Amino acid sequence: MASGRPVALVTGASRGIGKATALDLAAGGFDVAVAARTAVDGRGRSDTDPGLTLPGGLDTTVAQVEREGGAGLAVAVDLLDRPAVLGAVAATVERFGRLDVLVNNAIYQGPGTLARFAEVTDDELWALLEGNVVAQLALIRAALPHLVERGGTIVNLVSGAGHLQPPAKVGEGGWSLGYAMSKAAFGRVAPVLHVEYAELGVRVFSVDPGWTITERTVAAGRAAQYSRRFTPGTPDVIARAIRWLVTDAEADALRGKAVMAQDEVQERQLLGRWPPPISQDRPWEERDRET
């Protein structure tokens, strides 16, 4: 039954930035549908690290959304399963009667994500493009009629990997070619959609989270290799930037642009404890916040 509250659909919300965003939006007055592959906490498995169990699940995210005051809906979605992707929008509208916000946070995590050029296959490259670009476009296409009706918002999570020179090889603090090219393609979506849909009232943003330590990063033991080079944020910092974009008309000045989440949180003092103090022996921390 519809509650009258605005409704958000957040993908990749079993853990990390997606989960934190779902919780922050719920605290901000939204009902939230959450989508991911891991339905039950404790059953998450890493495609890139065989045998690694990942914390988090849609069940625990929904429970926490409801503790924050919002109604929650769990939708199991694999980005390579097109009917499931499209079904996420249909299930959200069926449950809540509306859709006001789409947050495209989920990414493909399968084979090829961490492969160097000589090792990545054509099939893996196609999967990366499907899971990081084409699936998101399908979600947007399904959501747009509802977002046009509501004057809604699209938030696409992008990455510095799509336009920055990697500081090292993948596995040593850098990123793979397949991942970089897919994120570069996805980074062009918001600017074009802004031009095409702004006059219809749809607000579209790219959000670059910068280097962010998530449960997956910690579980995989990769936090140290990146933190040597970049100042890490945490999922709740990125979530607060997304909530600000979604709820504050002042953010309209950034429509169609790539929003540096950590910078906005710091400059606008959206979280009192952010940023952490700069370490005297790591002076590069202030300037090197990128993924």
Active site residues: 179
Give the HSE-up count for residue 245: Cα atoms under 13 Å, Cβ half-sphere.
34
102, 154 in Cβ contact below 8 A? Answer: yes
126, 134 in Cβ contact below 8 A? Answer: no
The Cα–Cα gap between 129 and 124 comes to 9
- Which H or E run contains 9? strand 7-11
At residue 109, what are phi and psi to the nearest 5 degrees? -120, 15
100, 7 in Cβ contact below 8 A? Answer: yes
Q: Which residues pair with 31 in a beta bridge?
A: 7
Q: How far is CA 60 from the centre of its chain?
A: 18
Residue by residue, DSSP assigns 66-126 as: HHTT--EEEEE--TT-HHHHHHHHHHHHHHHS---EEEE-----STTTT--TTT--HHHHH
User: Token pair of 54, please?
Assistant: 């990942």
Any idea what the Cα angle at residue 17 is, between residues 12 and 144, rounded to 5°?
55
